[in-house]
Structure 1
Amino acid sequence: MQSSPSPNILGITPIFVFVGLIIFAGVATSDITAMPVLVGFMLAAGFALLLQPKGQTLSISEKVQLFCQGGGNSNIILLVIIFLMAGAFYSLTIDIGARDATVNLALSWVPQSLLLPGLFIICCFISFAMGTSMGTITALSPIGVGLAESLGLSSHLLMGVVISGAMFGDNLSFVSDTTIAATRSQNVRLTDKFKANLLVVTPAAIITAALLFFVDTGTPPPLNEESYTLINVLPFIVIVGCALTGMNVVLVLASGIGSAALVGLVNGSFDVFGLFASIQTGMGWMQNLALIAITIGGIVALMTAYGGIAWLIKLLTRRVKSKRGAEFSIASLVGFLDLTTANNTIAIVTAGPIAKNLGDEYSADPRRVASLLDIFSCACQGMVPYSPQLLTAAAIAGISPLSITAYCWYPMMLLVFGIISVATGWPAFKKPMQSGL
């Protein structure tokens, strides 16, 4: 197969088949969550196997091989490992009482009116320090679920709060892979991209926190004394502490699982075999999510091989005639790439060289280009119901990822202010760029 497939509009259609199935099922049943996500993607994968690259004919065996290579990509397998470990950690925290203890501790110390904006700000801080939205979501989603149950609030809302805070750091952090990818692709310094991003994301974060402040959280329930046993809170202290040191997310989860296992054995929540059973239960919760991730990887590989991604790039860049047009095309390109790949880092890496060429041709400031790549990829990533972030939160909460999207208020605000930034040319840099990262 040729390394650079010819642009082909049919190559992008599998993702539209998936979206069409979701919409059709939602309209037919008046329930947008009626179509199971995995079934939808499997049907889209079946459709993808019927297609062909332009000017070529691949056998079904060759297409299945391409699908398997995409599903077995190292990034996909890493996601599967993270999903399974996150499930194990969540199950253990429930069985040892860690989740309930942490929630009740928060209810006793944080004013009721500040619980939701407080959770959002905590997620923002942790994700900024960690540089990973996935680590934040796996660490704090159990607490969000516990708060929802304790306060009688919608778990969809609480998961939206966690995802919102997680995407804040994913976009802004100095150590985020999206930040690194965006700055390297445009050859700009991390601090310059940070300054451009900060002016756009700050109003989005403030509005999100203000909206959460006005959500009625009711009256706190009575608390039991045993809920304050601090040893039960230890797993969350360990996992957050390890994350803030910049430790790899797999090691962070391993530390959390180890500490939760130790606490459970010490306080008699289970014996060794009960520990193993709890871990197995949690991993079982994530099996569906792991299959979704593998299926998405396979579909993306087929769309790339068919020329669908190449067609999308050509479509969004062919009518650029001005600097503002170049910036809108860059924003649209990275956003659509994120919608098709469900991976904001891959979207940035793919769009980066095209964005660099467009920016140079139309005199767009590379610092703004790097900022736009990160802003629009993270905004879309935080709203796509089949992104790893929403799938993970949904699996932990036991709800549909489609039902969380409406509560991802920060990514929505980020998208709005990103569009305003492109339309107005704000923020603008007065001083010339210094080379180097």
Structure 2
Amino acid sequence: MKREKEMTFGLAMIPLLVMISVMFIAIVVLDQGPHIPLIIGTITAALVAWRAGYKWNDIEEAMYKGIKLALPAVIIIMLVGLVIGAWLGGGVVATMIFYGLKILSPSLFLVSITIICCVVSLTIGSSWSTMGTIGVAGMGIGMSMGIPAPMVAGAIISGSYFGDKMSPLSDTTNLAAGLTNTDLFEHIKHMFYTTIPGLAIALIVYWFLGRDFGKDGVSSTDINQTILALQDSFVISPFLLIVPLVVVLLVAKKVPAIPALVVGVILGVICQIFVQGSSVTDAVTALQSGFVINSGNEMVDGLFNGGGLDSMMYTVSMTIVAMTFGGILENTGMLQAIVKQILKLAKSAKSLIISTIATAFATNATCSEQYISIVVPSRMFAKAYKDKGLHSKNLSRALEDGGTLTSVFIPWNTCGVFILATLGVHAFDYAPYAILNFVVPIIGIIYALLGFTVVKLTDEEIIAQREEEASINS
């Protein structure tokens, strides 16, 4: 893109300030959604880019680039809506909830669901797939036990993002390692220092929060009534557990998420028609507009009415709108102008790491996409880490601590809107209970201040790095 002059810091801040101000008024004062504030922010960003010398074709191309980056996420969002509709209609979710209520203890449920989501997300490397399958059932089990939905959602999110951050199969883990030229397993090993203590703290908090639910939080009569209502409304069979198991195994065998989820949809439809005895029309309706049940039990009806492609259209539109805004910011030099200003203030190694974590979080808030929060800071901070003699794994860990994990706290971020559509809980409600997601960045900042686990390049590594750069330049 050609422009008449460089984007300045002052110009770059205008769209952000406008968007944040309008977003605050819309969400806090007017109790509205984030779509319109982001559209206003996009219009402002386009005007600023035009003022800086960009032509409309360039600005339009910037928006398309942002949307293109989010297209894989949009497809997965739609498929998850289909999976939920098919699994609700096929009795798959009901079966998982049925056996979960029989096996899991209310007092240890938050700890148990966190560990289960940790294991599944480590195996498949995807927080979204974990939340869209195991997480949906976990919400049903926890709420049936009388545990508040925000607590359940927070535990599911913590466990799901543990694997998303630590699994060698995770796209964000590979992205952070690849962009910083860090060995994948060296990157994962370095993240142990912040993520394992974060998980331990989360489990302790969940044990503390859940210790009273087995006493007074819910009675065994309530659980038994829910179990009976499930048996009356669905055909419950352990064979239905094969469906989520197949999806998990497919992804664990490195089958891409999209075809694996398609298999999950097909199996769910088969279960609805041949196990639950529904018609083909009902199965198709569940896929399109969601599954509907009138069991007479308020709890069961609340849990099982939902899913379908239509339920995800709010999330899809939110993602597209957010990425038009983020696309303009990234592709017209606005983000780069802001990061350059930050680099002027990052004089030491500790301030550089803290700035990286803060920038990744700010990118999540402004560009509304987890991937951008890793891509942009990795490009802008890489040279600064080299100049200060810091190993690249410091940068890769800071990107994940500040980018991968904090995306869930932004209601208009693609992760925040996905969680709202999938688990049915708003970011502002589950935020205090997503313990892992906010504790790990804090630990990373404390480590930076203390200089703990801040690894510097050896003399040999510096020489090898200079020789490699000289070879590339020649």
The 10-residue stretch of structure 1 (375-384 or 43-52) with the greater mean CA deviation from structure 2: 43-52
The one of 300, 319, 344 equivalent to 2:370 is 344
Aligned to 1:165: 159
Aligned to 2:149: 155
Would the alpha carbon gap of residues 85 and 184 (structure 1) be closer, same or farther in structure 2, given more than 3 Å must change?
closer
The one of 95, 119, 122 equivalent to 2:116 is 122
The one of 392, 402, 407 equivalent to 1:376 is 402
Q: Which 5+ residue runs of structure 2 have no aligned equivalent? A: 290-307, 466-474
What is the rounded CA distance, in whole Å, between the counterparts of 2:137 and 2:16 in structure 1? Answer: 33
Matched, 1:69 2:64: yes
1:76, distance to aligned residue in structure 2 (A): 1.6
Aligned to 2:2: 2
Aligned to 1:357: 383
Aligned to 1:144: 138
Which amino acid counterpart does residue 21 of structure 1 have in structure 2? V
What is the rounded CA distance, in whole Å, between the counterparts of 2:423 and 2:395 in structure 1? Answer: 36
Aligned to 1:101: 95
Would the alpha carbon gap of residues 306 and 97 (structure 1) be closer, same or farther in structure 2, given more than 3 Å must change?
same
1:358-405 CA-to-partner distances (Å, cap 9, x unmatched) read: 111112222222222222112322322222222112112344344333
Quick check: 1:11–1:306 contact (8 Å CA) kept in 2? Answer: no
The one of 33, 40, 44 equivalent to 1:43 is 40
What is the rounded CA distance, in whole Å, between the counterparts of 2:425 and 2:40 in structure 1? Answer: 21
Aligned to 1:11: 12
The one of 127, 136, 145 equivalent to 1:133 is 127
Which amino acid counterpart does residue 349 of structure 1 have in structure 2? V
TM-score using structure 2 length: 0.83
Quick check: 1:5–1:305 contact (8 Å CA) kept in 2? Answer: no
Aligned to 2:338: 312
Aligned to 1:251: 259
Which amino acid counterpart does residue 378 of structure 2 have in structure 1? G
TM-score using structure 1 length: 0.89
The one of 290, 315, 325 equivalent to 1:299 is 325
Residues 250-269 of structure 1 mapped to structure 2, 5 A cutoff: 250-269=258-277
Matched, 1:175 2:163: no
Considering only aligned residues, what root-mean-square deviation do their CA atoms show, in Å?
2.7
Quick check: 1:239–1:256 contact (8 Å CA) kept in 2? Answer: yes
Matched, 1:204 2:198: yes
Would the alpha carbon gap of residues 239 and 176 (structure 1) be closer, same or farther in structure 2, given more than 3 Å must change?
same
Would the alpha carbon gap of residues 353 and 398 (structure 1) be closer, same or farther in structure 2, given more than 3 Å must change?
closer
Quick check: 1:95–1:269 contact (8 Å CA) kept in 2? Answer: no
1:351, distance to aligned residue in structure 2 (A): 2.0
1:343, distance to aligned residue in structure 2 (A): 2.8
1:319-352 CA-to-partner distances (Å, cap 9, x unmatched) read: 2322223222333333322332233333222222
What is the rounded CA distance, in whole Å, between the counterparts of 2:157 and 2:17 in structure 1? Answer: 25
The 10-residue stretch of structure 1 (255-264 or 44-53) with the greater mean CA deviation from structure 2: 44-53
What is the rounded CA distance, in whole Å, between the counterparts of 2:343 and 2:455 in structure 1? Answer: 24
> Over alpha carbons, which structure has the higher Rg?
2
The one of 220, 230, 234 equivalent to 2:238 is 230
Quick check: 1:235–1:257 contact (8 Å CA) kept in 2? Answer: no
Would the alpha carbon gap of residues 334 and 5 (structure 1) be closer, same or farther in structure 2, given more than 3 Å must change?
farther
1:198, distance to aligned residue in structure 2 (A): 0.4
Aligned to 2:430: 404
What is the rounded CA distance, in whole Å, between the counterparts of 1:183 and 1:399 in structure 2? Answer: 31
Q: Which 5+ residue runs of structure 1 have no aligned equivalent? A: none
Aligned residues: 429
What is the rounded CA distance, in whole Å, between the counterparts of 2:140 and 2:27 in structure 1? Answer: 29
Would the alpha carbon gap of residues 78 and 431 (structure 1) be closer, same or farther in structure 2, given more than 3 Å must change?
closer
Which amino acid counterpart does residue 61 of structure 2 have in structure 1? L
Aligned to 1:213: 207
Would the alpha carbon gap of residues 7 and 169 (structure 1) be closer, same or farther in structure 2, given more than 3 Å must change?
farther
**What is the aligned-residue identity percentage?**
18
Matched, 1:273 2:281: yes
Which amino acid counterpart does residue 396 of structure 1 have in structure 2? T
1:245, distance to aligned residue in structure 2 (A): 2.3
1:27, distance to aligned residue in structure 2 (A): 4.6
Aligned to 2:442: 416
Which amino acid counterpart does residue 40 of structure 1 have in structure 2? P
Would the alpha carbon gap of residues 208 and 399 (structure 1) be closer, same or farther in structure 2, given more than 3 Å must change?
closer
Aligned to 2:53: 56
Post-superposition, which runs of at least 4 consecutive aligned residues in structure 1 deviate over 6 A?
A: 433-436
